[in-house]
Amino acid sequence: MSLTLEEPPDGGWGWLVVLSGFLANSLTYGVLRSLGILFEDLVEAFDASAAQVSWVTAIALATEQFASPIGTAASKRYGTRPVVVAGGFLSSLGILWASFSTSLLQLYLTLGFLTGFGWALAFAPVMGTLARYFSSRRSVAMGLALMGNGLSSFALSPLLRLLAESLAWRGALLVTSALVLHLLVCGALIRPLALRGDRLEPGSLFDWGLFTQRGFGAFSFGTALLAAGYFTPYVHLEPYGRALGLDPYKAATLVSVAALSDALARLLAGCFADCRLVRPARLLLLLNSLTGCSLLLLPLASSHAGALLLALLYGLSAGSFATVAFGVLPEIVGVARVVNATGLCLMVMSVGGLLGPPLSGFLRDVTGNFTISFLAGGTFILSASLVFLALPSFFAGCRACGGEGATPGARGEPDVLLAPPSASAPLSSSSSEI
C-alpha cells in the first residue's frame, strides 16, 4: 500500500523509513567497513598478498555500486519492499557461502559478487525512498540513517576481532551472515510514496537522461574520484595499526574510533546543513577537502595516540561529507528522480571503489608500508574537490536561507541552478539555492 501526498510529509511514517535506512547502512557499508578486521587473517589463510585480498572488499563495493541502478529500476517496476527483501536474502547467502571458501576465487564470487549484488538491491532503493519522505528536514533524516554506517562499524570492529580469535575467520563470517539477514526488516518498514511532481509519462527505468544535466554529471564524476580514496582507511586502518606495532585489539580501536566519530558527524552535519547557513555546494567541497587532507595526514602517526587522533579526524570529515552529499543529490535532480539518481551515482562511484582498495594494497606490497597508499587516496579525494567546483551554483552569489518554503528539489523539480537551461524555471523568492 502506498501513500499519495502533495508534498513530502517531513515525518510520520518517514521516521520508520529513517529506521529502515539506519539498518540498511548498518548492514551494508557498516559491515563492509568492518571486514578490514579480517584482512590479515585472510592473507594468512590463503597465503596471499595484500593486493589479492583487497580485491574481496573491492569487488563487493564495486558490485554494490555498479548494480545499484538495477536495484532502483527493479524497485520502480516491482516495488521497493520485495526488492529490498530479496537483496537482504542474497547478501546474507553470499556471506554464508564465503565462510566455506577454500580459495580466493570463491571469496571473490561469494563475498564479492553475490553479497555486493544483494546490497545493491537493498541500499539504493531504501535511501532513494527516504529522500522522498522529507524536504526541510531531509539532511537530518539522512544523517540519522547514515549514522548506522558508523555505529555498526564501531560495534562490529571489536566484535569481529573477538569472533576471529575464538571462532576463526570462518565463524566470524557465519555470524555476520546472520546479522545481514536482518536487511529483511528494512524491506518490511518501507512504504512507497507518491508525490506531486512524479513523472507520469512512460520513460526509461534507468533514467540515463540524468547524465545530460550539468549538475548531476559533475556530482557523479566527483564522487567517482572520491570513491578511489574514501574507503581506503576502513580497509587498511587495522593492518596499518599493526604495522605501527600495535596489538590486534589496539589496531581494531582505530577502526572503531573512526567509525564512531563518523557516525556522530553525520548527524551533526545534517543539523547544520538544514540550517542553510552555507550554500550546500560549498559545504560539500569544504568537507570533501577536509576528508582528503585528513587522509594525507594519516602516515604521520607514529604512536597509538597519534593514530587515534588522525582516525578521529578522518571519521569526522568523511562522515560529515556523506550526509551533505546525500542531502544535495535530491536538490540537484528533484525528488521525482532521486531514486534513479541514487542508483546511477553509486554506479559511477563503482569505478573508484573498484580501483581504490586494490591499488592501496598493491602500493603497500611494493613499498612495504601504507604511506604511499594513504597519500594516493588523499590525492584522489582532493581531485574530486576540483570537480565539485563545476557545480553550476558554486560561484553564484551567496545568501543565507532561513528555511522558509520548500526547495525546488523538495517539490519534485530540479534546482534551477543545477539543471540545464532548458529545464530551468524562474526562481521564486522562497526557493533555496544549492
Q: Half-sphere exposure of 36 toward its Cβ, with a 13 Å CA cutoff?
A: 32
Dihedral of CA 362/365/367/369: which sign?
A: positive
Query: Is residue 368 predicted with pLDDT exceeding 80?
Result: yes
Of 329, 342, 343, 327, nearest to 391 (Cα)? 329
Q: Go through 157-184 and write b for each residue having 16 or more CB atoms within 10 A of its CB, e for each that does not.
A: bbbbbebbeeeebbebbbbbbebbbebb
DSSP 195: E
With beta carbons less than 8 A apart as the criterion, state whether 349 and 328 touch: no
pLDDT at 360: 85
pLDDT at 199: 63
Q: Half-sphere exposure of 149 toward its Cβ, with a 13 Å CA cutoff?
A: 29
232-243 and 371-388 helices, crossing angle to 10° = 160
Query: Is residue 33 predicted with pLDDT exceeding 90?
Result: no
Query: Is residue 50 predicted with pLDDT exceeding 70?
Result: yes
Query: Is residue 147 predicted with pLDDT exceeding 60?
Result: yes
d(CA 169, CA 172): 5
pLDDT per residue over 315-364, tens digit each? 999 999 999 998 888 888 888 888 899 999 999 998 887 888 788 888 88
Contacts of 157 (CB under 8 A, 6+ apart): 34, 37, 238, 252, 253, 255, 256, 259
With 0.85 as the threshold, say if the pTM is over it.
no
Instruction: Tell me which of 198 and 60 has the higher pLDDT.
Output: 60
d(CA 73, CA 206): 6
Kindly indicate the confidence band of residue 396, based on its pLDDT and cuts at 50, 70 and 90: low
d(CA 121, CA 69): 9
pLDDT at 336: 84
Contacts of 156 (CB under 8 A, 6+ apart): 30, 31, 34, 37, 176
pLDDT per residue over 180-239, tens digit each? 999 999 999 998 888 776 764 455 678 899 999 989 999 999 999 999 999 888 778 888
Q: Beta strand pairing status for 193-195 and 3-5?
A: parallel
Q: What is the DSSP string of 98-159?
A: HTT--SHHHHIIIIIIIHHHHHHHHHHHHHHHHHHT-STTHHHHHHHHHHHHHHHHHHHHHH
Mean pLDDT for the stretch of residues 245-269: 87
pLDDT per residue over 70-125, tens digit each? 999 999 889 999 999 999 999 999 999 999 999 999 999 999 999 999 999 999 99
Query: Is residue 429 predicted with pLDDT exceeding 50?
Result: no
304-333 and 232-243 helices, crossing angle to 10° = 180
CB atoms closer than 10 angstroms to residue 243: 15
With beta carbons less than 8 A apart as the criterion, state whether 90 and 37 touch: no
